[in-house]
Amino acid sequence: MKGDPEPTDPISASEIAGVADAVEALRSGAISPEEFRRRRVVMGIYPIREGPDRYLLRVRIPLGRVSPRHLRTLAETADRYATGGGVHLTTRQDVHIYGVEMRRIEGALSFLAEAGLTTREACGDTVRNIVVCPFAGVSPGEVFDVTPYAQALGARLLRHPLGQRLPRKFKIAFDGCRGADHAGLLFQDVGVRAIVSPDGRPGFQVNVAGGLGALPQAGFPLEPFTPVCRLWSTVEALLRIFDRMGDRTNRGRARLKFVAGRLGAEAFRRLLFDERETVESSDPAGGPTMPDPVVTEGADPRGHAGLPAWTGAFRQVQAGLVAFPLRIPLGDISSERLRSLAELTERTGAEARITTAQGILLTDMPEAEGESIAGALRGYGFPPPRAVSIVRCAGTDTCTVGATRVRGLAALLEEKIASMEAETGRQGPVAIRISGCPNGCGHHLVGEIGLRGVARKVNGRLAPHYMLHLGGGAREDGSALFGAPIGRIAARRVPEAVERLLRLLDAERINGEDVGETLARLGQDRFAASLIDLLEEPPERYGEEDFFDLGVSSPEVFPAVSAGKAP
């Protein structure tokens, strides 16, 4: 999978011309803003807060894997066509380029296309970029490499007629690791896990109808075992059902999970199996070509444990090669560091993979050069991962939907965690997930500590707050938990609240426990009690500064917008 991934469809000249025509039609008044929205979203173009003429481009990164050429192209696009300074990594392994002026959209899309990069169907009511476990193909603990199946499915679905005007977005993810879920399989419309059947056949367990947002639902297994030869027909049947039965009148209830909810799991399964038979009988040779899986032996990961030179580095299943995880603070990476990464991967033959936690995993590094590579990474300004990880959405710095400035909070938490780490030298793994609104782009519901931006009326005025959730995440047994809501905390006191929670977890955790187990053993009330003076504070405790959001140096109306549909 090194070099430029194949196939990475470029945006066609006609698609770029269509965007250019839509821009001119909007500027001349020939089409309405709503019609412009309809045309731009399928091309991965969203408005942002920098002004009425500024947009973000969401670039699809198939498999989350970026070649040296792609890294340089992303850096150059950000510098040449946008506000510059870098890009943002998303939880779907896409890349956001912020601040592109309307008149420069055509040029930016053309420049990306020359390198084989596309924004097509990164947004809108389409099949979104397929998420793939970042450890696929290199993990010593995987069942088999899911990469070829995700790649084949993604290539077939891009521009597929079924995926152009769905009732709502449609999300797919793949993972092959034993006893772990790095792709959020249960929170997708389709979550595909590599398994081996009781009679020894490699294939998949497919979970369907999951989703986050204001009404979260964990996906349920479609059947005990889906053979490789039926993967495409299963997905096509699901898309046909969704296209036919999804609610096109109420976007708030338009996802696949609501179709399954109306029918019930058993009726939904029967409908899907019937539709799959129809797909297979009408086009027996349909679907992309997929290879037979090669099952790995499932080596003990402890035998592949890391390198002293870099926290989190591990020996791959391929002898002599190691993988280095990089922490990308706030999910933001500068153009300079993108170019440095391109130079390093080109020189070493490594591959860069965007992770679902807004980091980067460098694979295929020669173990013999481990120490020198670690030194080079530090020289380029890349830090190793921390035990406490933060994932965030864009928040109101750029997003026109969010309620709070998530980036400002995440930056303060990064500082707080670094200070605690330097002070105590010990912290157990904790996943912090932050969203600026109920849409949940920061996956707050599946964070061990989850924070969702809300507005609370205090003394007749709206003040920025975060609803605290505890105990979310995927479990090793394949189940999922959504974080329980604990209460609202004023935005400026969230860093203090998180510090208390982390200290309590460190003090009370028994060796070998994960956060979920500690929470379950102690009970949520124990953690809520440690925050009693911060949760739902009385109005008399609020000062003028509590009505301004984090990162805002001058007064502004809060909230800037109310959370609503995606732009």
Q: What is the pLDDT of residues 86-123, one digit of tens each?
A: 999 999 999 999 999 999 999 999 999 999 999 999 99
Cβ–Cβ under 8 Å, residues 43 and 119: yes
Write phi, then psi, for 410 (nearest 5 degrees): -60, -40
Where are any strands of DSSP class E within 339-493? Answer: 351-354, 360-366, 388-392, 430-435, 449-458, 461-470, 473-474, 480-481, 484-490
Nearest to 549 by CA among 498, 492, 506, 483: 492
Token match 């982390």: residue? 502
Q: What is the DSSP letter of 214?
A: S
Which residues of the chain are in CATH 3.30.413.10 domains?
141-282, 388-547
**Proportion of the chain in helix, strand, coil states, percent, rounded to 5:** 40, 20, 40
How far apart CA 244 and CA 171 sit, in angstroms, is 17
How far apart CA 560 and CA 33 sit, in angstroms, is 20
- pLDDT for residue 85: 86
The residues, ordered by sequence, that sit 6+ positions from 24 with a Cβ below 8 Å of its Cβ are 30
Written as tens digits, the pLDDT of the chain (567 aa) is: 444 444 334 457 889 999 999 999 999 999 999 999 999 999 999 999 877 899 999 999 999 999 999 999 999 999 999 987 899 999 999 999 999 999 999 999 999 999 999 999 999 999 999 999 999 999 999 999 999 999 999 999 999 999 999 999 999 999 999 989 999 999 999 999 999 999 999 999 999 999 999 999 999 999 999 999 999 999 999 999 999 999 999 999 999 999 999 999 999 999 999 999 999 999 887 889 999 999 987 665 555 666 888 999 999 999 999 999 999 999 999 999 999 999 999 999 999 999 999 999 999 999 999 999 999 999 999 999 999 999 999 998 889 888 999 999 999 999 999 999 888 776 789 999 999 999 999 999 999 999 999 999 999 999 999 999 999 998 766 678 999 999 999 999 999 999 999 999 999 999 888 888 999 899 999 999 999 999 999 999 999 999 999 986 555 556 654 444 556
3-state secondary structure of 530: coil
Which residues of the chain are in CATH 3.90.480.10 domains?
301-380
- pLDDT for residue 565: 52
3-state secondary structure of 351: strand
As to burial, measured by CB atoms within 10 angstroms (0-12 exposed, 13-18 middle, 19+ buried), residue 269 is middle
Cβ–Cβ under 8 Å, residues 479 and 446: no
Spatial strand order of the sheet with 314-315 comes to 65-66, 351-354, 360-366, 321-326, 314-315
Which residues of the chain are in CATH 3.90.480.20 domains?
13-114
How far apart CA 479 and CA 218 sit, in angstroms, is 8
If phi > 0 it is left, if psi is from -120 to 50 it is alpha, else beta; for residue 137 that is left
Cβ–Cβ under 8 Å, residues 57 and 108: yes
- Cα end-to-end span (Å), the chain: 34
For 431-461, the pLDDT digits (tens) are 999 999 999 999 999 999 999 999 999 999 9
How far apart CA 285 and CA 219 sit, in angstroms, is 29
Single-letter code of the amino acid located at 57: L
Q: Which fold has domain 301-380?
A: Sulfite Reductase Hemoprotein; domain 2 (3.90.480)
For 138-182, the pLDDT digits (tens) are 999 999 999 999 999 999 999 999 999 999 999 999 999 998 999
3-state secondary structure of 315: strand
Return the structure tokens found at 42: 């399928």
- pLDDT for residue 561: 46
Domain 13-114 in CATH 3.90.480.20? The answer is: yes
What does CATH list as the number for 141-282? 3.30.413.10
How far apart CA 167 and CA 458 sit, in angstroms, is 38
Write phi, then psi, for 417 (nearest 5 degrees): -65, -40
- pLDDT for residue 150: 98
Nearest to 113 by CA among 154, 153, 87, 81: 81
Domain 388-547 in CATH 1.20.1250.20? The answer is: no
What is the maximal distance between C-alpha atoms in the chain? Answer: 70
- pLDDT for residue 563: 42
Nearest to 138 by CA among 292, 296, 328: 296
How far apart CA 307 and CA 191 sit, in angstroms, is 32
Q: What is the pTM of this model?
A: 0.94
- pLDDT for residue 428: 81
